[in-house]
Amino acid sequence: MNQKYFGTDGIRGRVGEVPMTPDFVLKLGWAIGRVLADGRPDRVLIGKDTRISGYMFESALEAGLSAAGVNVLLLGPMPTPGIAYLTRTFRAAAGIVISASHNPYYDNGVKIFSGDGFKLPDAIEQAVEAMLEEPLQTVDSARLGKAERVDDAAGRYIEFCKSTIPAGTVLKGLKLVVDCANGATYHVAPAVFEELGARVVRIGAEPDGLNINRERGATAPKALRAAVIEQEADVGVAIDGDGDRLIMVDHHGEVIDGDELLYIIAKARHEDGTLVGGVVGTQMTNLGLEHALAGMGIPFRRAPVGDRYVLEVLRELQWELGGEPSGHIICLDRTTTGDAIVSALQVLHVLVSRGISLHEARGDLHKYPQILINVQTSEPRKVAALPEVKAAVREAEAELDGRGRVLLRASGTEPLVRVMVEGPDGPKARGCATRLAERVETAAMQRSGGSPASV
């Protein structure tokens, strides 16, 4: 992709710095209205997570869309997948999410769904960027868009989530700890599980605009592990700030990541004869999952890192199940994007329908040690492409001698080069990853002429 502003997951940045400034976001709203509504008085939905800056950007987008002659439906705090769902049900031209996902409160971003509930293809993102270069022209006053709030948005989405598991399924007898990361699911996720009969202990469900993802949620499961053990709960559910990532914790306090959750769902569907095709993972997917699926005769394909690329491969192959270790799980027969609540329900249905614990459900999956190191740099793409960095990767691969994998990639959402080494020999993988990260750090330092980056 050659977009100037759009990355792998929409537009994202530090609040107050381009592109996340009020004036830019206002014009972005206008450009979205011009491209996706094409001058028609269509409706566009706007939802947000719980960041304090969401109020500011919501108003800016509303103004820009109105200037383009587009009507606006305001959803308030709502999970990203909830906005995708409501975009479809309202037959809207687009759905806009104001969120920086798992990032801290001082970041924010804009993600866009087209009318079918899928993330925008590259061609449409490029058209929006091209429109941003045009002068903003407000439609005639009589054609300005109007705005109204959707008061029952949360209730609509709660009912949808419950509909994604078989009718009659109840979670009665299960005690869950649900960590909402003080994010967009704080008022939705606990209600879904409670209405299905579970006893729910809530943590990370008191957002104040500044505490989203802070030591809570799918990217920080330590608090959930402690709460599960303290509460003697059956399962812990951790969701990230915008509601599209899921990590779970079993009754022993062990973290169950996206690879393991994908395995649980795939295995159950395979046994039930409902798995369509195979499973799509990414370059980060553990070799252990690939081998376990192969042992059951389930096809597996890798996509580039990013849930949008998992989705692209799923649609290309006409398969239905894919995901990432980070907890993006896509069940295309249920919804159009990664959905933490829906994914959790698929796993919980497996547990109650088979009468097993979460620990038992993932018990025969054996993952290889996977060492991940982040190298900070202001130019991750350029550093990852340096000849000396590529040479270091080849040396690391030679060191593993075919018994493992090396992956080095520039983050699409943060100023980082991510180094991953995986293999059956944990100490060897760690040493290899450490040496490779040091080489990348040195190359980044030499390129910038500054002090060493932190690893």
Work out whether the CA dihedral 309, 310, 312, 313 comes out positive or negative. Answer: positive
Decide whether 157-246 matches 370-448 in CATH topology: no
* Token pair of 41 as six digits: 């008085």
Q: What is the pLDDT of residue 455?
A: 44
Nearest C-alpha neighbor of 260 from the set 235, 233, 285 = 285
Sole residue written with tokens 């190191």: 373
Domain ranges, ordered by start, for the chain: 11-151, 157-246, 256-341+351-361, 370-448
Q: What is the pLDDT of residue 428?
A: 94
The one-letter amino acid at 143? R
Q: Give Cα 161 distance to the centre of its chain.
A: 17
Domain 370-448 sits in CATH 3.30.310.50: yes
Nearest C-alpha neighbor of 262 from the set 298, 219, 220, 226 = 298
Q: What is the 3-state secondary structure (H, E, C) of the chain?
A: CCCCCCECCEEEEECCCCCCCHHHHHHHHHHHHHHHHCCCCCEEEEEECCCCCHHHHHHHHHHHHHHCCCEEEEEEECCHHHHHHHHHHCCCCEEEEECCCCCCCCEEEEEEEECCCCECCHHHHHHHHHHHCCCCCCCCHHHCCCEEECCCHHHHHHHHHHCCCCCCCCCCCCEEEEECCCCCCCCCHHHHHHHCCCEEEEECCCCCCCCCCCCCCCCCCHHHHHHHHHHCCCEEEEECCCCCCEEEECCCCCEECHHHHHHHHHHHHHHHCCCCCCEEEECCCCHHHHHHHHHCCCCEEEECCCHHHHHHHHHHHCCCEEECCCCCEEECCCCCCCCHHHHHHHHHHHHHHHCCCHHHHCCCCCCCCEEEEEEECCCHHHHHCCHHHHHHHHHHHHHHCCCCEEEEEECCCCCEEEEEEECCCHHHHHHHHHHHHHHHHHHHHHHHCCCCCCC
* Token pair of 176 as six digits: 């869950």
Nearest C-alpha neighbor of 302 from the set 318, 326, 278 = 278
Q: What is the pLDDT of residue 448?
A: 77
398: Cβ contacts below 8 Å, ≥ 6 apart: none
256-341+351-361 belongs to which CATH class?
Answer: alpha beta
Q: Which residues of the chain have pLDDT under 50?
A: 1, 452-455
Whether the link from the prior residue into 19 is cis, omega within 30° of 0, is: yes
238 phi/psi in degrees, rounded to 5: -115, 125
Angle separating helix axes 387-400 and 426-448, nearest 10 degrees: 170
Q: What is the pLDDT of residue 39?
A: 62
CB atoms < 10 A from the CB of 323, how many? 31
193: Cβ contacts below 8 Å, ≥ 6 apart: 171, 176, 178, 200, 237, 344, 348
* Token pair of 225 as six digits: 């592990």
To which CATH superfamily is domain 11-151 assigned?
A: Alpha-D-Glucose-1,6-Bisphosphate, subunit A, domain 3 (3.40.120.10)
- How far is it, in rounded angstroms, from Cα 183 to Cα 378? 28
CB 219 within 8 A of CB 316: no
157-246 belongs to which CATH class?
Answer: alpha beta
Q: What is the pLDDT of residue 450?
A: 62
Work out whether the CA dihedral 330, 335, 337, 343 comes out positive or negative. Answer: negative
The one-letter amino acid at 70? V
Catalytic residues: 101
* Token pair of 23 as six digits: 């004036």
